[in-house]
């Protein structure tokens, strides 16, 4: 009995202790042959020390986080595999320290975009907007997370009959730039006097879900900055489901050529799809909201990081969707407008071709089940000409990223209207 109690105490201590990443390195590795790919897939599935920031599914470049006690193992491994590699982050903790100085928490409702804000601050700010703009802002709770946190959604509607856009962000816990960007854009829609932005605010109904995974986000702030999933208990040692693999449409349906779902059946995996679709209350809440509002949305936009890409359905198929040409044209214009702001080039295309397989994602669910014709995942900044940061993007990049994303939205709306979508009422 004492031994069992000791184990429980040790596990509880580990779970409560905040993870640090002192001297953790991130390498970019190049997978160029089958031997390397098989080895990296095995490493991703079995290692509790190495952490891939993108699952190694094909030949190509991947970022791999390596803890100090695995440096020699990593060197031996890449030498044995003759694998090209480059050190891109020397000390990950230094990046985290820059994200939120002293891990400070501002008072509820005090909102800015100089730092990444907490769940409480963002939700309080949303509530304050309803008080400030009572005639056209409405805040509702569409559901609760596994740990009981509210999933707050803000509707901005200035005119009856407008077509609508749903903006989902921060469904992956460690992608802090998601909620920071969506809230900045929302603030611009409410306060900007630029005519093109005023047009968006007046002639489109906007539904913002800034934090689609509040438990996971809070956990990244208090325990483990690199956490990706929800926080539901899956086993004695494994927590969380990848919420962007848990939606019902095409859940666990493999891609027709590779046979990959882009997810895992292992509960400890970062891309665990869950014991069944909609096992996660966060995903179920989004689905129920979309179901209750069928027919009003012309666009569903999911904000993620990081890749500099605009992805569209399906995440498990290479077969073009019926309006593939429209999605490509609208996406291209969105990327063009984005590029003009700060010179960041985004790729546009089907998710399988541009990035990787991912069945059961929100973009596919919105498009496939609810027939929302413009459905994109924006993979935003993380690493590029401005530096290699991955998911640990310093706060000084919040506003530049958000500025170019607002331009991307302007380009999207402009081009979509050429196809009769998001038309002015």
Q: How far is Cα 307 from Cα 173, in angstroms, rounded to an integer?
A: 16
Neighbours of 350 (CB within 10 A): 20
What are the residue numbers of the active site? 379
Which residues is 163 bridged to in the sheet? 204
Judged by DSSP in three states, 29 sits in strand
Q: Which of 121, 352, 135 is nearest to 259 (CA)?
A: 352
Write the DSSP symbol of residue 277. T
Say how many residues make up the chain. 425
Which residues is 99 bridged to in the sheet? none
Side-chain-side CA neighbours of residue 2 (13 Å): 0
Question: Residues 6 or more apart from 370 whose CB is under 8 A from it?
Answer: 290, 291, 294, 297, 300
Q: How far is Cα 51 from Cα 64, in angstroms, rounded to an integer?
A: 6
Q: How far is Cα 134 from Cα 139, in angstroms, rounded to an integer?
A: 10
Sheet holding 60-66, edge to edge: 51-52, 60-66, 25-31, 85-89
For residue 406 the two structure tokens come to 């607002």
Side-chain-side CA neighbours of residue 390 (13 Å): 27
Please classify residue 98 by burial: count the beta carbons closer than 10 Å to its beta carbon, then call 0-12 exposed, 13-18 middle and 19+ buried.
middle
Please, what's the b/e burial string for 207-232 (b: 16 or more CB within 10 A of its CB; e: otherwise)? bbbbbbbbbbbbbbbeebbbbbbbbb
Side-chain-side CA neighbours of residue 263 (13 Å): 29
């Amino acid at each position: 009995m004492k031994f069992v109690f000791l184990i429980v105490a040790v596990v509880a201590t580990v779970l409560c202790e905040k993870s640090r990443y002192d001297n953790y390195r991130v390498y970019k590795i190049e997978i160029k042959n089958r031997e390397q790919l098989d080895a990296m897939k095995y490493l991703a599935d079995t290692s509790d020390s190495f952490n891939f920031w993108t699952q190694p599914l094909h030949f190509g470049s991947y970022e791999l986080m390596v803890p100090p006690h695995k440096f020699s193992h990593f060197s031996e491994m890449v030498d044995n595999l003759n694998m090209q590699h480059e050190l891109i982050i020397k000390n990950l903790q230094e990046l985290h320290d820059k994200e939120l100085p002293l891990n400070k928490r501002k008072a509820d409702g005090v909102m800015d975009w100089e730092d990444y804000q907490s769940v409480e601050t963002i939700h309080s700010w949303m509530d304050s907007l309803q008080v400030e703009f009572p005639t056209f802002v409405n805040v509702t709770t569409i559901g609760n997370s596994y740990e009981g946190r509210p999933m707050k959604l803000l509707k901005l509607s200035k005119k009856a009959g407008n077509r609508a856009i749903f903006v989902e962000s921060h469904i992956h816990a460690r992608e802090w730039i998601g909620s920071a960007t969506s809230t900045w854009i929302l603030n611009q829609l409410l306060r900007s006097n630029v005519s093109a932005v005023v047009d968006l605010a007046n002639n489109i109904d906007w539904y913002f879900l800034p934090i689609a995974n509040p438990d996971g986000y809070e956990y990244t702030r208090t325990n483990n900055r690199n956490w990706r999933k929800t926080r539901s208990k899956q086993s004695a040692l494994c927590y969380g489901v990848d919420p962007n693999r848990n939606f019902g449409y095409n859940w666990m349906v493999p891609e027709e050529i590779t046979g990959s779902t882009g997810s895992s059946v292992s509960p400890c995996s970062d891309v665990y799809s869950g014991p069944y679709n909609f096992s996660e209350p966060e995903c179920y809440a989004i689905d129920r909201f979309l179901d209750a509002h069928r027919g009003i949305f012309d666009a569903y936009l999911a904000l993620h990081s990081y890749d500099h890409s605009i992805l569209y359905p399906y995440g498990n198929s290479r077969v073009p969707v019926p309006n593939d040409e429209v999605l490509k044209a609208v996406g291209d214009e969105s990327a063009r407008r984005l590029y003009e702001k700060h010179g960041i080039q985004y790729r546009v295309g089907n998710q399988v071709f541009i990035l990787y397989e991912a069945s059961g994602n929100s973009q596919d669910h919105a498009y496939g089940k609810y027939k929302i014709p413009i459905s994109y995942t924006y993979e935003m900044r993380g690493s590029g000409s401005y530096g290699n940061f991955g998911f640990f993007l310093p706060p000084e990049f919040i506003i530049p990223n958000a500025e170019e994303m607002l331009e991307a939205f302007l380009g999207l709306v402009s081009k979509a209207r050429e196809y009769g979508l998001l038309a002015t009422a």
